[in-house]
Amino acid sequence: MVCILKTKESFIQKLFRSTLQQGPIPKHIAFVLDGNRRYAKERNMETISGHRKGSDTFEQTADWAMLCGVQEVTAFVFSISNFSRTAEEVNGIMSLLKEKLELKLKHPEELEGKCYRFIGNWLLVPEDLKLVISKLVMVTKHNKTIVINIALAYTGRDEITSGVNSLLHGIRHNEIDLNNVTESLFEKYFHDFPVSSVDLFIRTGESRLSDFVTWECSDQAVLCFRDEYWPMFSCWKFLAAIFYFQANTLCMSSRSC
């Protein structure tokens, strides 16, 4: 079945989006792209082919999110713990990401409205990939429709630990008054770019948080766990997650009244 959510909207697409927007739309959705390896193994494919399929699925999902009016998405692409995998798989994922980003830069029309940002431990990212990332960030920094955060060499604990170290450095060098430290100030030391609170957290293949956007989910994020592997995630499953968010949000609102 072909998904009706395409970049150019027909009448029925506009009607569908209008129906969606009768309820609240999450401003920020976080995705754990889990199950690429298992998807490949069950189909006797090479592991990297599963990751490639997963990458394609996220690109489509970001387009669906933008069409629905979502303002920000964050994808957990590569955890710091993933460096313990075989060198072949790690290098394959990094090469695939570099290839994908270079392709985006060659087709600027596909970047329209999309502001790409990267979060994670910059010291662990290969140098050749850093160059491509930096260029993509610069090229898209003024785009306003949707922010696409790529969590690379990332964990929530490392994010918080790095923020604490940066904050302590500022205090030691009299750049920050300890008495003025607040949550909002602390958050500014997490990344080079601000990441907003998560409204909807979607994970495929497992029912775990896996140390992803720990701080950003701490308020009132709706958690949506799905059984399928990430490469099998479709627009219908995305819309089901949006409806799930709307139902939970309305339920929370009714209890607070």
Confidence class for position 253, pLDDT limits 50, 70, 90: low
Cβ neighbours around 151 below 10 Å, total: 26
Q: Is the pLDDT of residue 236 over 80?
A: yes
Question: How far is residue 206 from each of residues 55, 126, 202, 225, 240, measured CA to CA in Å?
Answer: 18, 29, 10, 7, 17
Q: Where are the alpha helices (DSSP H) in 107-155?
A: 127-140
CB 105 within 8 A of CB 180: no
Q: Number of helices (H) and strands (E), helices first, in the chain?
A: 8, 6
The reported pLDDT for the residue numbered 257 is 45
CA distance 64 to 58: 10
Helix ranges restricted to H, 110-228: 127-140, 156-172, 183-187
Q: Nearest Cα to 150, choosing from 62, 91, 39, 60?
A: 62
Whether 12 shows a pLDDT value over 90: the answer reads: no
- Output the CA torsion 190→81→231→90 (10° steps): 110
Record the pTM.
0.89
Q: What is the pLDDT of residue 133?
A: 97
Q: What is the mean pLDDT of the chain?
A: 88
Sign of CA dihedral 234, 240, 242, 245: negative
| Stretch 130-141: mean pLDDT | 97
Percent of the chain topping pLDDT 90: 61
**Least-confidence region, from 10-24, 100-114, 189-203, 232-246:** 10-24
How is residue 30 written in tokens? 């976080």
Hey, what are 251's tokens?
A: 């339920």
Cα 251 to Cα 184: distance, rounded to the nearest angstrom? 28
Least confident of 37-46, 160-169, 224-233: 160-169
pLDDT digit string, tens, across residues 202-222: 999 888 888 898 888 877 899
Determine the 3-state secondary structure of 7 from DSSP: coil
Q: Tell me: the pLDDT tens digits for 52-110?
A: 999 999 999 999 999 888 999 999 999 999 999 999 999 999 999 999 999 999 999 99
pLDDT at 1: 44
CA 88 to chain centre: 24
- Could you read off the pLDDT of 148-193 as tens digits, one per residue? 999 999 999 998 888 888 888 888 888 888 888 888 877 777 776 7
Strands 146-154 and 222-226, bridge-based pairing: unpaired
Does position 255 have pLDDT exceeding 90, yes or no? no
Residue 36 burial (C-beta neighbours within 10 Å; 0-12, 13-18, 19+): buried
- Check: CB of residue 99 under 8 Å from CB of residue 55: no
- CA 239 to CA 234: how far, in whole Å? 9
Domains and CATH numbers, the chain: 26-155+196-241 (3.40.1180.10)
